Amino acid sequence: MKLALAQLDIEHGAIETNVERAVEAIAEAAERDADLVCLPEIFNVGYFAFEEYERAAEGLSGPTLSQLSEAAVEYGINVLAGTIVEDLAATTGADTPADEGLANTAVLFGHSGERRAIYRKHHLFGYESAESELLVPGEDPRSGICEVEGFTVGITTCYDLRFPELYRDLVDQGVDLLLVPSAWPYPRVEHWMTLARARAIENQCYVATVNGSAEFEGSTLLGRSTVFDPWGTTLASAADEPALITSEVDPERVERVREEFPALRDRRS
């Protein structure tokens, strides 16, 4: 499978412009024969645009996700719609953690436009961030698991990277490709790279992190979207500028690595 990571230039509060860039990235990924393209965290309004969250919030059938579902069909590609601010009260027909409030929600669309997985960020960030005050945490991390092009995919989001037990649980459910849409800022570059690589090494699976490229008042996203293989080797990585990177990933490689070096099998509880 060819995996694409769309490191978008995200403008603070400019929803229409940001969604247009996302659709353009989907089209470019399809032109490069990618099977799955991933977008960053809260790509449509910008993670640090906290004062815009209520205005930007929409249900799962809202305008942003509808456009991306349509793009998946038009270009024949699976799309991880990064995350958006979801208005839980506006969502119907899907299990939600609350009857009202806002959530940080990722949706994976199949190439026929259908919703394959819905993941609501489990660990909300509180350090110099209003996220934990404004949003409701997701309660079912396994809701982000689905089958895509021979992989069992698991979705997590940004701050989740700091909680290895979440990833171990997903791997115990058969996940062999972890997707991590994010809005990771400077100066924590080493944390960003080290934590993602560690999740790949300890779980012997692919980890793909897709970050934004943007400057907000007081914060700058550091980019460096990266695909790590089951050994923790970097297969593709961006700098801090907007970029679309691709990498070939193979579920059989996960099986071979786990057979060659059976660390997961040697675990003791």
- Structural domains of the chain in order of their starting residue, each with its CATH number: 2-260 (3.60.110.10)
**Res. 21 pLDDT band, cuts 50 70 90:** very high
The answer to whether residue 93 scores a pLDDT higher than 80 is no
Give the chain's mean pLDDT. 96
Catalytic residue positions, numbered: 41, 121, 158
For residue 128, is pLDDT > 90?
A: no
Q: Beta strands 215-216 and 145-148: pairing type?
A: unpaired
| pTM for the model | 0.97
pLDDT bracket for residue 35 (50, 70, 90): very high
pLDDT in tens, 45-64: 999 999 999 999 999 999 99
* CA distance linking residue 73 with residue 93, whole number of Å: 21
Is-contact 68 37, C-beta < 8 A?
Answer: no
Q: Give yes or no for residue 77 having a pLDDT over 90.
A: yes
Amino acid 142: pLDDT: 96
Q: Is the pLDDT of residue 92 over 80?
A: no
* pLDDT score at 216: 85
Side chain identity, residue 222: L
Q: Beta 151-155 vs 177-181: how paired, if at all?
A: parallel
Half-sphere CA count of 110, side-chain side, radius 13 A: 10
Which of 94-108, 198-212, 219-233 has the weakest average pLDDT? 94-108
Q: How many residues does the chain have?
A: 269
Spatial separation of the C-alpha atoms in residues 235 and 197, rounded to whole Å: 11
